[in-house]
């Protein structure tokens, strides 16, 4: 069934649908990987789940997997916001956590370790070192500030982006340590809802699957 909007303004988060790399567990940062057929159907399902909303503003990551998700969900005019691009994983882009852990000789935890645990490699993201978690958090704060302009006028806002970026965005919304994002699992095409309670920013729903 569709998600029922609240009478109070909400910041709604939609992760992009499945890609080949999300299905295989490969870290997908700035690599521009398209949706699979299953991912496209997930995006349509998410659109049906959000049919009750009349968003005053819709923003999307510049990467094609997010833009395509927004389009198939019914928001072809979503405004591209560069701050919604996924964490730049640098040398770990395209690698699974298991692969990275094997190279390190221990378990790899991205929120604790960051992405600069391996040396820059031209075979991965053109040798870019990748972003620090603090840099991702700063971008997330920019998204929150932009959304606030609409939320303060009583309008709902939708953002379509990526797993790690949206997990960090939730911590920026709450004003807590970005590392708390490691406890916020987020599936492909999952919907999450940020809102207000007793004058505090809250999480009203998290990791809600798209409705079939």
Q: Pick the catalytic residue from 18, 40, 86, 131.
A: 86
Q: Which residues contact 47 (CB under 8 A, 6 or more apart)?
A: 72, 73, 74, 75
Helix (H) / strand (E) element for 146: namely helix 133-151
Told to judge if 162 belongs to the known catalytic residues of this protein, a careful annotator would answer: no
Told to judge if 86 belongs to the known catalytic residues of this protein, a careful annotator would answer: yes
Q: Which residues contact 172 (CB under 8 A, 6 or more apart)?
A: 137, 140, 141, 143, 144, 178
Half-sphere exposure of 7 (CA within 13 A, CB side): 0
Residue environment code for 119-152, b if the CB has 16+ CB neighbours within 10 A, otherwise e: eeeeebbeebebbebeebbebbbebbebbeebbe
The two tokens of residue 139 are: 């971008």
Q: Pick the catalytic residue from 16, 27, 124, 162.
A: 16
Active site residues: 16, 86
């Amino acid at each position: 069934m569709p998600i029922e909007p609240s009478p109070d303004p909400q910041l709604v988060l939609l992760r992009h649908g499945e890609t080949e790399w999300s299905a295989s567990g490969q870290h997908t940062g700035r690599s521009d990987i398209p949706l699979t057929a299953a991912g496209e159907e997930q995006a349509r399902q998410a659109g049906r789940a959000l049919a009750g909303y009349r968003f005053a503003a819709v923003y999307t990551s510049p990467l094609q997997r997010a833009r395509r998700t927004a389009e198939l969900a019914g928001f072809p005019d979503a405004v591209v916001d560069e701050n919604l691009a996924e964490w730049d994983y640098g040398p770990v882009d395209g690698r699974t956590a298991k692969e990275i852990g094997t190279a390190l000789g221990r378990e790899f935890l991205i929120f604790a370790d960051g992405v600069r645990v391996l040396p820059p490699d031209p075979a991965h993201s053109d040798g870019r070192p990748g972003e620090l978690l603090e840099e991702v958090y700063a971008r997330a704060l920019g998204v929150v500030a932009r959304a606030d302009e609409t939320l303060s006028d009583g309008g709902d806002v939708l953002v379509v982006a990526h797993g790690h970026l949206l997990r960090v965005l939730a911590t920026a919304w709450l004003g807590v340590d970005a590392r708390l994002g490691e406890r916020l699992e987020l599936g492909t095409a999952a919907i999450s809802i940020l809102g207000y309670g007793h004058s505090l920013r809250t999480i009203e729903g998290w990791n809600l699957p798209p409705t079939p």
